[in-house]
Structure 1
Amino acid sequence: MDFGDYESLLIEQRGNALILTVNRPRAMNALAAQVVEDLHRLTGVLATLGEGGNWPVRGIVLTGAGDKSFVAGADIVEMNSMGADAAAAYARRMHDVTLRLESLPVPVIAAVNGFALGGGCELAMACDFLYAGAGASFAQPEVNLGLVPGFGGSVRLQQRVGIGAARELIYTGRRIKAVEAERLGLVNRVFEDNESLLAGALATIEEIASKSPTAVANAKTAINEIAGLNVVDGLGVELESFRKAFGTQDSVVGRSAFVAKTAPDFPGR
């Protein structure tokens, strides 16, 4: 599948995974306006994945170029020339990007290979889960600039680590290392180095690729919809997701293969 050409992004399909790399290493992969526009255009293309049972990839790995930074945050030099309305439009564009990542029918893994600060941390949190190299670090340091998170940090950080820890990290702007981020629940796994980080993320995509595509997509949608609901409402969403999954061809194949004690060959529909 042709995903298009982008000035600030590198795209590589490897096995069942699409590796998406923010490619501004000299600027620590900061989210300049061009990067935001490239991400917005690409996520628009990716949003068509799964239509008509078409699954060109089974997962996405999002990372940054080089060994120092995943995404160091917004481009403060560019932001310094913005008025409030322009800054809000810039943030709204990133809201679109993060919401599209969350709504993709395939899992997205953030492979955090260095700094994930401000907008970089917010971009990572829009992924299904985060893997990190041992040298990675995370922060929402906007208070140091007289600002607050603008790309979803106020919402997603408390969903990941709880409201108390989110308040502390946002109010102080404190930077935490990968091991602490894992302890808080922000990061799923920490790897010894960035090479094993990427290998681990790709291995997880390959593991997921052996499962039913429709089941993974349905599970992702249900989990996102359930976030923040009470138990009764959440069970209602889960029940509808279960009903929908049961009616798929993947479910027929999977259940039949289990009974026959054979490996399922999921059609993805």
Structure 2
Amino acid sequence: MIELEEITKVYSRGFLRRQKTIAVNNVSISIKRGKTLGLVGESGSGKSTLGRIALRLIEPSSGTVRFDGIDLTRLKGSKLRKLRPRMQILFQDPDTSLDPRMTIRECMAEPLIISNRAGPEEMEDRILGLLGQVGLQSDLIDRYPFEISGGQKQRVALARVLSLDPDFIVADEPTAALDLSVQAQVLSLIKSIQKKSNLTILFISHDLQVIEQMSDSIAVMHHGSIIEQGTPQDILHIPMEHYTRNLVAAAYGSDAWLGKIKDLRAKS
């Protein structure tokens, strides 16, 4: 579904733009249709930049992005705009997606109107159906974003994304701002929707436990490069890189990690 080949992104700054910062360094990843790739790494590792490059929200300095067999890096204008609804992003902070001056009804109607997905006569039913899909009651429809909880706002943001019937979603730390109980609910919701809709997801997080829960495969990013890729079992139980081992130990605790390794050896 989505392939990134030898992606590099270099930012230039300073006098005559001579200072170079390599945000992404020769990265190649691919995600099969209906699967989730978990991209994990510390802040500043290049995860979000790579996610935005996958959607052509940021132009790569070099490399190729293919979506459903189409070379996105060569598309421009109307051809690229035509594909936009099929590729969406779910941000960490729903306040960046929801206009505080608009009611939930208006927030939900906006992408439907822009993309001609629903006419005036069917708009109400379409909005209520989308809110129901993410577990929200109809009585929220005339409230403003500041009148609902963080978890509810993230569900509205997810409903807006789903309103365009996407095939591929970049979920960029979508639960990092939520408390643990709400986080678990939203993650479970995303997995349920993915299963029903056969969504392909690039799930970005610094939280390895969240990545383990959500992913079919994991890529570890450090200083702009992918240093290790594999199944969750490979990455969590037998990490090859020192940086990955530190991530696992920090996420689960050294004793818990050693216990996982002993269990794995006992089964083998």
Which structure is higher in RCO with an 8 Å CA cutoff and minimum separation 6? Answer: 2
Q: Name the TM-score, length of structure 2 as normaliser.
A: 0.30
Kindly indicate which of the two structures has a greater share of residues assigned to strand.
2
Kindly indicate which of the two structures has a greater share of residues assigned to helix.
1
> Computing the radius of gyration over CA atoms, which structure comes out larger, 1 or 2?
2
